[in-house]
Amino acid sequence: MGYANEDLTISKSNSWQMFDAISPRYDLLNHLLSFGLDISWRRQLVRFLSDKRGSGRVRSLLDLATGTADVLLTLVRGNPHIEEAIGLDLADRMLALGRAKIIQARLQHKITLSHGDANHIHFEANTFDAVTIAFGIRNVTDHSQVLREMHRVLKEGGLALVLEFSLPRQTVWRVLHLFYLRTLVPAIGGILSGHPQAYRYLSQTIETFPYGDDFCALMGLCGFRNAKAYPLAGGIATIYVGEKGQ
């Protein structure tokens, strides 16, 4: 069922290099392999960002493992009150693609992309109204470290949003999804990207990620209150929401 821990650890420690290698086809394969669902999942983040703030406004936003900036672009377009949005990533080729999209969208006055590590965020404590990470936290070796950093840089009452792959709990759907992840995803991803190992890695990290209640409990241990999980598409992805206590 699983994979060797040694192989997974090596893949995670070098994952930014892998993402740089597949960057030319990254967005295309995201849309193709998720059947376009990745677009609607990012739009769901807009709703959570708006609903959970009550009377407060999200004016400053940090997106970790930002990649080609699709999350930032979606959130800024969907929330006109955002004044400053910053994306961090270690994969510079991904960031270059993201910057081109930001210029095309004429949002460079609001969105900035920088080289940066989610494990060691180079901003002071209590800086941002919201911190997001989409399909990135499973790629780090220490999930707690990233969550603690997210908590640190959030303002009191700030919101953390994590969008990540998960596994369906319904047995038949789970079996079918695992078959898809283990066979079709590496085959299609490998042909189109030229890097089949990158899409074998995708399945490995999804299967070993502590999703659902386990991840909510981890958020609680890292200081977040009211941590909740919201499954999407039958559980193949999940949005996690947590607040920094006042």
pTM, rounded to two decimals? 0.88
At 26 the pLDDT is 67
For residue 49, pLDDT over 60 is answered with: yes
Q: How far apart are CA 160 and CA 27, in angstroms?
A: 24
At 190 the pLDDT is 77
At 188-212, the pLDDT tens digits run 877 777 777 777 777 888 998 999 9
Overall size of the chain counted in residues: 246
Question: Hey, is 134 helix, strand or coil?
Answer: strand
Single-letter residue type at 145? Q
At 159-185, the pLDDT tens digits run 999 999 999 999 999 999 999 988 888
57 pLDDT band, cuts 50/70/90, is confident
At 55 the pLDDT is 47
CATH number of the CATH domain containing 66: 3.40.50.150
Please state the domain count of the chain: 1
Q: How far apart are CA 161 and CA 13, in angstroms?
A: 23
> How far is residue 116 from each of residues 28, 144, 238, measured CA to CA in Å?
24, 18, 25
Query: Phi and psi dihedrals of 54, rounded to 5?
Result: 60, -130
* Chain mean pLDDT for the chain: 86
Helices within the chain (DSSP H only): 5-13, 15-33, 37-51, 70-78, 92-104, 143-153, 171-179, 185-193, 196-207, 213-221
* Parent domain of 197: 5-244
At 110 the pLDDT is 97
Residue 197, both tokens: 């190992």
11 pLDDT band, cuts 50/70/90, is very low
